[in-house]
A and B are shown apart, each in its own frame.
Chain A
Amino acid sequence: MKIRDNRAWWLVLPVFVLVAFSAIIPMMTVVNYSVQDIFDPSTRYFVGTEWYREILADPRLRDSLLRQFLYSACVLAIEVPLGIVVALSMPRRGLGVPVSLILLALPLLVPWNVVGTIWQIIGREDIGLYGWLINHAGIDYNYASNPRDAWITVLVMDVWHWTSLVALLCYSGLRSIPDVYYQAARIDRASNWAVFRYIQLPKLKNVLLIAVMLRFMDSFMIYTEPFVLTGGGPGTATTFLSQTLTQMALGQFDLGRAAAFSLIYFLIILLVTWVFYTAMTHRDDMR
């Protein structure tokens, strides 16, 4: 007969309690909100999936969702290749190593709202360094009034803030490749491209997976920087999902719809991340 000892469950209990308070209970509260219409603590009605249907039909949500996807795609398309290039051109030994590591780490240490403020000032055409330079170079630039300029500014700001992360991750990946691989490639007369394609990229795959997921999730949830920089404007040009959500929840105090919204938001991130993960790890298992 098999003896079962269930005492181990007691050891799991602390984790379970912690996770309950940190994730499960807040999440269930949101689920609870999303299926009810609440006026005050004693006046509430069960509305089923009504909020969900309403939200999915809301053009405001669809617009900002589209904007959000476009934004995250741009962020990934710029930061990942740029990060790899930066990592490849970093020195491998000598004094340059600590210097470049510190320089790269600096943007990562700046708080989000400070980043927004920095770019708000630096981009102004009257007193900001970049804004003034661009305007004096003959290009009409104003991030506060022109939607295209606002977009570019938010994007450049994100690239400035987060490319370092991708570069640092890639650099650590590159450092783990033994010299003998490069020597063998030289003996085999591999071109620089072949070295990158067959030696560096395969070794970078795991860190790139982390970098892509982190940058996707982070950029998909971006809030503070555009909020400080443009306030979502001009119009709704830089109003991303999280800001739409905040306006709905706190501005209009529309808790039911906001709750349904956040659950959909959460599921989208989960889904896209899963797709990335599966796509990048799946090819391994073949052959």
Chain B
Amino acid sequence: MAEIRLEQLAHRYGGRAAPATDYALRPMAHVWEQGGAYALLGPSGCGKSTLLNIISGLLAPSEGRVLFDGRPVNDLTPQQRNIAQVFQFPVVYDTMTVYDNLAFPLRNQGQPRDTIDARVREVAKALEIEGVLQRRARHLSADEKQKVSMGRGLVRDDVAAILFDEPLTVIDPQLKWRLRRKLKEIHRRFDVTMIYVTHDQLEASTFADKIAVMYDGQIVQFGTPRELFENPRHTFVGYFIGSPGMNLLDVSRDGDIVTLAGAPYPFPRAWREAFAGQAGRRLQVGIRPEFVSLVNAETAPLTGTVAQVQDQGTFRIVDIRLSTPAESVIKARVAEEVTVPEGRVGIDLPLTWLRAYADDQLVEVAHEDS
């Protein structure tokens, strides 16, 4: 049980000699508090697994420090760090029984027989594999194997943290959901820090209290699922989280006139000032499809034509091609009972939910009381 702190951490697989463009992890600082349930969310190749392996000690970072409870652990092996890790594909000791597999980490620590037996049975019960305890691990199905693999991570109750590297990839969806609940339950019961790597936002938000979104070797935002949804600090968080993701429209300034997707748009003063303060950077505004509303085309500042409607069962996603020179497409999520007008529609972008970005980073805009 420990607080995990990363200081000036960075990693290049080629070591320090590799060119700066080769960062698998770009310099970062981060704190995982004791007892939290965290998810590390990002697309393949963004450095999630690299970061996880650095925390567990399987990989030595080329720069920076890892601290457990304030103590540097860079030079410690995974054994010494007392970390449990569950891998993407099941790793079981083929020739052993399921029972022996689960008991293995405890036996290696030299725990007394009674303790081992009690722990193994407790974990087997939690993972619903009591029935196969005496079976040889090699004869198990893929998801049973993965449960055994996870079980080995959970049996030790003195670990600093348990790390999961996309552990549910090989599990079928029905069971996935149940196992995730189980993990959360185990997390509450044992009060241990858990970090869960995944590329599935649903998995991340159901498991974790706080999610770290990774993109291109960096943690671009760390927050609760709600914060990630309502206030993405990076355009990547905007379109990676949510389904469909955030609409992003280009903004440009020509003297005093600010255009949105190529056509002048009546931004309030605070917004124009915010944009003016970001001269020379790429400007965008973003809004989630949930907050885009369809209005009368005659009075709306922004109009477009309906290009496509996708019925998702409980709601519909409407693609609207803007009538501006840039002809961008904006997605709106509308309730089933709303009738989607054909042809030209007006679009309202409520300022409360509109976010401004400069070079992909969120720009704070002062609220106006008007």
- Which residues does A use to contact B, with CB under 8 Å? 180-181, 183-184, 186-191, 194, 198-199, 202, 287
Contact = CB atoms under 8 A, between A and B. Distances in A.
B135 interface: yes
Interface in B94-109: 94-97, 104-105, 108-109
Contacts of A188: 104-105, 108, 152
Given A180-B89, A198-B95, A287 B135 contact: yes
B264 interface: no
A128 B55 CA distance: 58
Contact of A186 (B58, B89, B135, B149): B58
Interface stretch (B75-83, B182-190, B327-335): B75-83
A180 B93 contact: no
B108 A189 contact: yes
B93 A191 contact: no
Contacts of B77: 186
Contacts, number: 52
Contact of B87 (A180, A189, A190): A180
8 closest A-B pairs by CB: A184-B91, A189-B108, A188-B105, A198-B93, A202-B95, A189-B79, A287-B136, A187-B85
A202 B92 CA distance: 12
Given A188-B104, A191-B108, A199 B93 contact: yes
B218 interface: no
Contacts of B152: 184, 188
B87 A184 contact: yes
A274 B89 CA distance: 36
Nearest to A205: B95
Given A188-B108, A287-B135, A287-B139, 17 more contacts: A180-B91, A181-B91, A183-B78, A186-B77, A186-B79, A187-B56, A187-B78, A187-B84, A187-B85, A187-B153, A188-B104, A194-B104, A198-B95, A198-B104, A202-B95, A287-B134, A287-B136
Contacts of A183: 58, 78, 85, 87
A116 B79 CA distance: 51
11 contacts: A180-B89, A186-B58, A187-B84, A187-B85, A188-B105, A188-B108, A189-B79, A189-B105, A202-B95, A287-B134, A287-B135
Nearest to B155: A188
Contacts of A181: 91
A198 B94 CA distance: 8
Contacts of B79: 186-187, 189
Contacts of A198: 93, 95-96, 104
A284 to B, nearest CB: 8
Q: Which of A186, A187, A190, A202 has the most CB of B within 10 A?
A: A187
Chain B contact surface mostly: mixed
Nearest to B163: A187
A152 B93 CA distance: 40
A85 to B, nearest CB: 21
A198 B101 CA distance: 10
Nearest to B77: A186
Nearest to B165: A180
A193 to B, nearest CB: 11
Contacts of A190: 104, 108
Contacts of B135: 287
A72 B324 CA distance: 87
Contacts of B136: 287
A155 to B, nearest CB: 32
B94 A202 contact: yes
B109 A187 contact: no
Interface in B148-199: 149, 152-153
Contacts of B96: 198
A183 B56 CA distance: 10
A277 B153 CA distance: 37
Contact of A187 (B83, B95, B134, B139): B83
Q: Which of B56, B58, B136, B139 has the most CB of A within 10 A?
A: B58
Nearest to B83: A187
Contacts of B58: 183, 186-187
B110 to A, nearest CB: 10
Contacts of B78: 183, 186-187
A184 B87 CA distance: 8
Interface string B121-141: 000000000000011100100
Contacts of B94: 202
A100 to B, nearest CB: 25
A174 to B, nearest CB: 15
Nearest to B93: A198
